[in-house]
Amino acid sequence: MSDTGDRRALERFLSRNSVTDAASLPLIHTTRSYNIASIKSTDEIKPTRCPVFNEDLTYLFVGRPAYKRKDSGSQAEYWELPCCFIFDHLINSSFKRVFPFDSGAFKSCLYPEYIGLMPIEQFEINSNGAPGRIISAFFGSAERYFSGSAKEADSFENEFDLSVLETEVRALRRLAHDGTPANFDDRRFTIEVQINKTIDFSATPPNAVILPSIYLRDEAIKNKIISDWKALPITYEVFSLSLSAYDGIIYGKVHEYLKSKGAI
């Protein structure tokens, strides 16, 4: 760890350099479709106990549906499949914590040793404007962030005057640029936002909901999404596939939504 007097290397890097704010991307909360029933009845997403931080938290990711569930490899039932709530306006909310990666995956040692040996606190940032600046610094644009095309090492080093002790920042850039071998995936550099308050749909409804098409056959769910939440329903078909096989399908749906909004 760098001997720098404080433990927030990423925050210090963003503060020291003139990094412009990239175009805003929405926040995405991904859950199992089984939970649609409870969300429909309460019109809210409530924080749940997080074993990593031992707090009640709601997790969202900036611009990507990166949250993962363990895949047994067997055919997934429709209620096991992902349901994504997309919020275009929550990006200006008060966050508990922001990390440039999935903190649970980091804590579970799913990232390479070159960054896993560092304290996670080095990468925590509390500024609400952090997501756009992180995207700009490490990717250059929202579109490159979504596609996972990080800046090359030479370009990054030329742009920012880094000292030999800013190892955490260099490790982050490498993590963002690395491929996706089996032991770490798109969570390696998807910006995580933690909220410790209930998301009340009466005040902040989702702008879009991605869910299996079977749910829109239920008139009550369809009316809730379209009439009550004024949200765009985005559906996908259910096939005889394992849970992980839907990752690409969901990404495609999010990409189409972001393109339609001019976000990428």
Q: Give kind and range of the element (H or E) at residue 55.
A: strand 55-62
Overall residue count recorded for the chain in this entry: 264
Give the per-residue pLDDT at 128. 67
- The residue type at 234: I
Residue 142: closest CA among 53, 5, 18, 254: 254
Which pLDDT does position 7 carry in this prediction? 62
Name the least confident of 30-44, 70-84, 162-176, 206-220.
70-84
23 compared with 203, residue with greater pLDDT:
203
Domain ranges of the chain: 9-260
Quote the pLDDT of residue 113.
94
The tokens describing 231, both together, are 């949200």
Mean pLDDT of the chain: 89
Q: In this model, does residue 188 exceed pLDDT 60? A: yes
* Cα dihedral across residues 74, 77, 79, 81: positive or negative: positive
As to burial, measured by CB atoms within 10 angstroms (0-12 exposed, 13-18 middle, 19+ buried), residue 243 is buried
Cα 208 off chain centre by: 16
- Name the E strands within 55-157: 55-62, 82-87, 97-99
The closest of 2, 94, 65 to 257, measured between CA atoms, is 65
pLDDT at position 16, please? Answer: 85
Task: Tell me the mean pLDDT in the region 153-157.
Answer: 94
What is the residue-wise DSSP string for 20-48?
A: PPPPP--EEEEEEGGGHHHHHHHTEE--E
In the block, residue with structure tokens 């963002």: 176
Q: Token pair of 237, please?
A: 């078909």
Give the pLDDT score at 182. Answer: 46
Task: Work out the number of other CB atoms within 10 angstroms of the CB of residue 98.
Answer: 23
How far apart, in whole angstroms, are the C-alpha atoms of residue 136 and residue 138?
Answer: 6
CA neighbours closer than 13 Å in the CB half-sphere of residue 79: 5
161 phi and psi angles, rounded to 5 deg: -85, 95
Hey, is 123 helix, strand or coil? helix
Question: Taking 90 as the threshold, does the pLDDT of residue 126 lie above it?
Answer: no
